[in-house]
């Protein structure tokens, strides 16, 4: 097994025992990028100084400095997270040449841990999409089937982990953008509780829903990275003030007596049979380990997509007002006065999906329609949240599919926004209620595509859902991640 095929947890142990160096590991990942990237296209920008970063970690270790367990582990960063001195594009023409003068808070944490930044990962433009097809730059392909999408919007982050082009990555999740690509690419991804990870330096899409979170090959990898990035931050007014414990210290595979709720609304007609079967099979395996399964009901789920697209678009229309050609980013070449400059800059700088959201958001906030749309959406949001609160009186974890289907073909849904939006049917409720949820692989479709299950927890119950996911991972003997075509000698052989 090559180094890039291993999990961060395994590599961390090897680095500490000096069985490999950070430079060797980084070189291995760079070699894999050279092999896989022409087909996968996970990166927007690759860092040029990765080996120097790794060398610094090796030197520090040689000097006997005490290092974080993730020191020397290569990490890719979604391209909507501000990285000082490294281009941060949001996969948009608007920010094609934008180099932030500051680091997002999560980047400061990643640097403190001594992780090696490999580069910035492709995404749907401004994180709007479920397939990474709305990127201004290029399409990212699913490593498990190259003519399929990797999911989105964190498609580059998920595909990179699946192809061994990074050991772990950071994504962001507003309505499913960590979990759905993790599911489609056969990796693990966590959307943390709202407020547990700082949003300072995350380019805002829908501020009340956005959260940064980790993607990795295993539950432990996700737990390790989440432990690095979680925590209170005075730079983010919505950051939760509380004490956080290291999630790895308490990872246990014990689910005896764990009460698992299975909401019937998430297993309806729109969900592929193969997905339902795989998730039910996984639930039965947890039951065999002592978990107690009960059917529950979350009746307002049917309004979730509408609610999400109203709230998210409303906030997006406001957040994206800052891209006006004045402060930073793209400005049209020739214009006739200020209004013309605004119009041309935004017409040329934004892609179709972003414009659709801005128009939708402006519409639902307009004085004539505010009550009918935005206000009602906020009422339904309260209802969805209450239903979850009631459910969590009866159960500890709620299990659902992550996505309604395995990866679909590139081009299949891009001209049908409603079909694309339906991809988020199982994930948006979690953001609407501010809860944590993790997606883990749970089998394959008949043509070998990964399927995912989602474990939802009460606010700040990351440990509970990670423990349950870890238990499942133990039962199935680990998640196979790197597709054969991209394993040792495969891709170009
Ligand atoms: N697919 C959803 C959307 O397009 C979710 C995106 C996200 O989580 N960033 O809005």
**Separation of 196 CA from ligand 1 center, angstroms?**
19
pLDDT of 442 > 80? The answer is yes
What residue ranges line ligand 1, CB within 6 angstroms? 127-130, 153, 173-177, 205, 312, 424
pLDDT of 491 > 60? The answer is no
The answer for residues whose C-beta is within 8 angstroms of residue 42's C-beta and 6 or more apart is 36, 76, 121, 122, 140, 150, 155, 156, 157, 159, 160, 163, 165, 166
**pLDDT at position 200:** 98
Condensed to tens digits (0 to 9), the pLDDT of residues 272-311 reads 999 999 999 999 999 999 999 999 999 999 999 999 999 9
Q: Could you give the CA distance from residue 401 to residue 389 in angstroms, rounded to a whole number?
A: 20
Q: Whose CA is nearest to atom 5 of ligand 1?
A: 175
Pocket test for ligand 1, best of 130, 158, 309 (most atoms within 8 A of CB): 130
pLDDT bucket at 490, cuts 50 / 70 / 90: very low
Specify which residues 457 forms β-bridges with.
397
* 153: annotated active-site residue: yes
pLDDT of 493 > 80? The answer is no
- Report residue 331 as tokens: 């400005």
* 78: annotated active-site residue: yes
The SS3 of residue 53 is helix
pLDDT of 221 > 50? The answer is yes
Nearest-atom number in ligand 1 for the CA of 178 is: 8
Percentage of residues of the chain with pLDDT beyond 90: 97
Q: Could you give the CA distance from residue 42 to residue 409 in angstroms, rounded to a whole number?
A: 17
* 318: annotated active-site residue: no
**pLDDT at position 492:** 40
pLDDT bucket at 481, cuts 50 / 70 / 90: confident
* Burial (0-12, 13-18, 19+ Cβ within 10 Å), 400: buried
Condensed to tens digits (0 to 9), the pLDDT of residues 338-361 reads 999 999 999 999 999 999 999 999
Condensed to tens digits (0 to 9), the pLDDT of residues 359-413 reads 999 999 999 999 999 999 999 999 999 999 999 999 999 999 999 999 999 999 9
**Separation of 173 CA from ligand 1 center, angstroms?**
7
Specify which residues 214 forms β-bridges with.
170
pLDDT bucket at 489, cuts 50 / 70 / 90: low
With CA atoms as reference, report the closest residue to 475 among 290, 220, 250, 289.
Answer: 289
- Evaluate whether 185 touches 63 at the Cβ level (below 8 Å): no
The one catalytic residue in 6, 7, 78, 131 is 78
With CA atoms as reference, report the closest residue to 481 among 219, 254, 282.
Answer: 219
* Strand-pair category, 437-444 with 450-457: antiparallel
């Amino acid at each position: 097994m090559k180094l890039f095929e291993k999990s961060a947890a395994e590599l961390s142990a090897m680095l500490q025992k000096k069985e490999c160096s950070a430079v060797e590991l980084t070189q291995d990942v760079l070699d894999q990028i050279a092999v896989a990237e022409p087909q996968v296209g996970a990166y927007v920008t690759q860092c040029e100084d990765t080996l120097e970063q790794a060398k610094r970690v090796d030197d520090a270790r040689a000097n006997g400095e005490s290092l974080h367990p993730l020191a020397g582990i290569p990490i890719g960063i979604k391209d909507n997270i501000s990285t000082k001195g490294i281009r941060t594009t949001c996969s948009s023409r608007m920010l094609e040449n934008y180099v932030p003068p500051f680091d997002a808070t999560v980047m400061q944490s990643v640097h403190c841990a001594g992780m090696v930044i490999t580069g910035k990962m492709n995404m749907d433009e401004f994180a709007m999409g479920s397939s990474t097809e709305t990127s201004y730059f290029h399409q990212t392909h699913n490593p498990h089937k190259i003519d399929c999408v990797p999911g989105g919007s964190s498609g580059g982050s998920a595909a990179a982990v699946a192809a061994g082009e990074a050991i772990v990555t950071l994504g962001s999740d507003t309505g499913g953008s960590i979990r759905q690509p993790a599911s489609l690419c056969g990796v693990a991804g966590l959307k943390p509780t709202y407020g547990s990870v700082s949003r300072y330096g995350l380019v805002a899409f829908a501020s009340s829903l956005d959260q940064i979170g980790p993607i990795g090959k295993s539950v432990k990898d996700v737990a390790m990275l989440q432990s690095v990035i979680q925590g209170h931050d005075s730079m983010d007014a919505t950051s939760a003030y509380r004490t956080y414990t290291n999630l790895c210290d308490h990872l246990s595979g014990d689910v005896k007596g764990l009460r698992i709720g299975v909401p019937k609304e998430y297993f309806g007609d729109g969900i592929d049979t193969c997905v339902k079967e795989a998730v039910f099979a996984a639930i039965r395996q947890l039951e065999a380990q002592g978990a107690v399964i009960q059917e529950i009901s979350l009746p307002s789920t049917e309004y979730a997509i509408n609610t999400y697209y109203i709230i998210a678009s409303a906030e997006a229309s406001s957040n994206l007002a800052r891209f006006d050609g004045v402060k930073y980013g793209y400005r049209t070449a020739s214009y006739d006065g200020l209004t013309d400059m605004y119009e041309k800059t935004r017409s040329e700088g934004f892609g179709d999906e972003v414009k659709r959201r801005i128009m939708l958001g402006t519409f639902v906030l307009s004085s004539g329609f505010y009550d009918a749309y935005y206000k009602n959406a906020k009422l339904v949001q309260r209802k969805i949240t209450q239903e979850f609160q009631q459910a969590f009186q009866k159960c500890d974890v709620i299990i659902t599919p992550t996505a309604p289907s395995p990866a679909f073909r590139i081009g299949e849904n891009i001209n049908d926004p409603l079909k694309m939006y339906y991809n988020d049917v199982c994930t948006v409720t979690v953001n609407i209620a501010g809860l944590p949820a993790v997606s883990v692989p749970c089998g394959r479709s008949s043509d070998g595509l990964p399927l995912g299950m989602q474990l939802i927890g009460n606010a700040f119950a990351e440990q509970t859902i990670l423990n349950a996911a870890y238990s499942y991972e133990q039962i199935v003997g680990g998640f196979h991640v790197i597709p054969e075509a991209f394993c040792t000698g495969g891709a170009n052989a």
